[in-house]
């Protein structure tokens, strides 16, 4: 029995040790995978950082003179400052969520001709995990850097990472350094020294950019393309931009041009104004179409086939008309060159002239068929007047009446603008009696009197007069009754009663 128990205990211990080993290996493997993934991402970031010319020069300039085949130790990767050099990455810190560090970095120069010229340097980076894994170090990774040294001092004057293209990151091609070039924030295609944020350079039919989808292409071409494209965006020193279709002359159509002075031409390559639309016959104008409905902007007032037009001339300003040409055309709205607007007339006499003198407006939710229109000085909205309780809050009896009414000063006056005689009140005097009776603009400035609200003041005043009248009637009746009694008493005495 004892032997059986000892054997059982041994089996349990063996199984426990085995399970512990499995979990430990799983833990170490998970750490290893995480550290490797973080290292991969970091190395790409490091490669991209050294694609910046200034960062690369700052990093490698501290190594002094450069000799082919000699191995130099490197302890830090510098930032891209032009004057003050600071550290971006070094061998003293953990990275990738503290799961790895840079153990060591070494640089070896190759193909640097003496005493001057261009060659390359290979940066070897050794990473090691900072968490428990199955390995102590990762394999060494390399970054190739293109360098140029000074002809006299042998000091480095140019430096940039010669990285391969990697998903999602701009890189410089190893096979041809002029394929794609990233330096000091500029991208060059076909040039190793881009002078702008992006520069595309080439010769002959390749001197430009081509964007293709299926069989359709658009060129951006300083030489106006090679005639094989369907569409082009061409440019030159004097022309600015020229958007053309249908290849080259004679089939090419110059659809739109943007001149070097900023003027835009549609149908013309020599616009004389900020925007000029040019054409012949029925095409001489601009047409905006939706379904079967069209609106023309036409200096010749259209060709009579349109439903609506926006026409203009030097004296007229703008004329919005419908129903084609005369005699069926209706000149619905005109804006004169002096700023006057006419509805139903082309010769407005005032700022807004409506000859028939009638304006119709519909206010959603309004039940009454007739009534007043109110202006809201806070919102600036004109709407049908309402006095419904549901729109009001804090309803209390009016606290002004006959006393305040007597403080108002009715006046007669003449309007300065028209000379017309009128009667009413002075707004500045009215608000001194009660500010609520003043009409204000959306800027809360006094502009007039709320004459419609005077009805509430008049009503309250009449009610107060009615109360006083009832009191006087009561007093009058008492006095009358006393007078009648006194008169009767006198008559009785006179008659000897």
Q: Alpha-carbon distance 317 to 345, whole Å? A: 13
With H, G, I as helix, E, B as strand and everything else as coil, classify residue 286: strand
Token pair in block for residue 424: 């009413």
How do residues 193-208 score in pLDDT, each as one tens digit? 777 888 877 766 666 6
Q: What is the rounded distance in angstroms from the CA atom of residue 210 to the CA atom of residue 226?
A: 11
- Given a cut of 70, whether residue 101 has pLDDT beyond it is yes
Q: What tens digit of pLDDT does each residue of 23-67 get?
A: 677 777 888 888 888 888 888 888 888 878 788 888 887 676 667
Render pLDDT for 116-156 as a digit per residue (tens, 0 to 9). 567 788 889 988 888 888 777 777 888 888 887 776 766 77
Is the model's pLDDT at 222 over the cut of 60?
Answer: yes
| Residue predicted with more confidence, 460 or 293 | 460
- Alpha-carbon distance of 306 to 283, in angstroms, equals 12
Phi first, then psi, for residue 65 (nearest 5°) are -75, 155
434 CB-side CA count, 13 A: 19
Burial (0-12, 13-18, 19+ Cβ within 10 Å), 255: middle
- Measuring CA to CA, which residue among 442, 416, 410, 445 is closest to residue 429? 410
Percent of the chain with pLDDT over 70: 67
- Better-scored residue on pLDDT, 488 or 294: 488
Q: What is the pLDDT of residue 424?
A: 94
CA 160 to CA 174: how far, in whole Å?
A: 12
Given the DSSP bridges, would you call strands 94-95 and 87-90 parallel, antiparallel or unpaired?
unpaired
Please name the residue that has the structure tokens 């360098």: 147
pLDDT for position 172: 45
Dig out the tokens for 144 from the structure: 């190739």
The two structure tokens encoding residue 486: 């006194």
Compute the distance between CA of residue 105 and CA of residue 140 in angstroms, rounded to an integer: 9
């Amino acid at each position: 029995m004892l032997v059986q128990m000892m054997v059982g205990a041994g089996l349990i211990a063996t199984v426990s040790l085995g399970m512990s080993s499995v979990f430990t290996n799983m833990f170490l493997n998970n750490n290893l995978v995480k550290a490797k993934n973080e290292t991969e991402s970091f190395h790409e970031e490091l490669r991209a950082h050294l694609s910046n010319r200034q960062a690369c020069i700052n990093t490698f300039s501290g190594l002094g003179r450069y000799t082919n085949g000699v191995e130099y130790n490197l302890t830090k990767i510098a930032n891209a400052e032009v004057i003050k050099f600071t550290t971006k990455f070094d061998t003293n810190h953990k990275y990738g969520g503290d799961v790895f560090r840079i153990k060591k970095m070494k640089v070896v120069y190759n193909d640097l001709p003496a005493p001057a010229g261009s060659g390359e340097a290979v940066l070897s980076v050794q990473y090691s995990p900072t968490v428990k894994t199955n390995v102590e170090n990762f394999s060494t990774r390399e970054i190739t850097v293109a360098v140029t040294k000074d002809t006299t001092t042998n000091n480095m004057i140019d430096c940039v990472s010669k990285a391969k293209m990697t998903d999602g990151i701009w890189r410089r091609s190893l096979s041809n350094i002029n394929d794609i070039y990233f330096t000091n924030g500029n991208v060059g295609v076909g040039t190793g020294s881009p002078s702008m944020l992006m520069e595309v350079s080439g010769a002959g039919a390749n001197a430009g950019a081509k964007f293709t989808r299926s069989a359709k292409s658009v060129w951006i071409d300083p030489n106006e393309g090679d005639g094989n494209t369907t569409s082009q965006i061409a440019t030159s020193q004097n022309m600015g931009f020229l958007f053309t279709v249908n290849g080259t002359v004679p089939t090419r159509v110059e659809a739109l041009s943007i001149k070097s002075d900023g003027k835009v031409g549609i149908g013309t390559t020599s616009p004389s104004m900020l925007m000029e639309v040019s054409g012949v016959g029925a095409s001489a104008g601009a047409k905006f179409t939706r379904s079967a409905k069209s609106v023309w902007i036409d200096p010749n007032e259209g060709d009579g086939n349109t439903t609506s037009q926006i026409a203009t001339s030097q004296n007229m300003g703008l004329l919005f008309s419908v129903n084609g040409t005369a005699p069926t055309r209706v000149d619905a709205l005109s804006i004169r060159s002096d700023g006057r607007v006419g509805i139903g007339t082309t010769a407005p006499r005032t700022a807004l002239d409506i000859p028939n003198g009638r304006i119709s407006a519909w206010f959603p939710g309004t039940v009454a068929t007739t009534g007043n229109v109110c202006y809201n000085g806070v919102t600036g909205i004109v709407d049908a007047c309402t006095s419904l309780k549901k729109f009001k809050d804090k309803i209390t009896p009016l606290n002004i009446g006959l006393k305040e009414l007597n403080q108002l000063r009715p006046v007669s006056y003449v309007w300065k603008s028209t000379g017309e005689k009128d009667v009413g009140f002075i707004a500045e005097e009215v608000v001194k009696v009660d500010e609520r009776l003043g009409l204000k603009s959306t800027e809360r400035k006094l502009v007039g009197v709320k004459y419609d609200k005077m009805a509430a003041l008049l009503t309250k005043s009449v009610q107060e007069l009615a109360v006083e009248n009832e009191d006087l009637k009561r007093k009058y009746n008492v006095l009358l009754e006393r007078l009648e009694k006194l008169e009767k008493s006198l008559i009785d005495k006179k008659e000897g009663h």
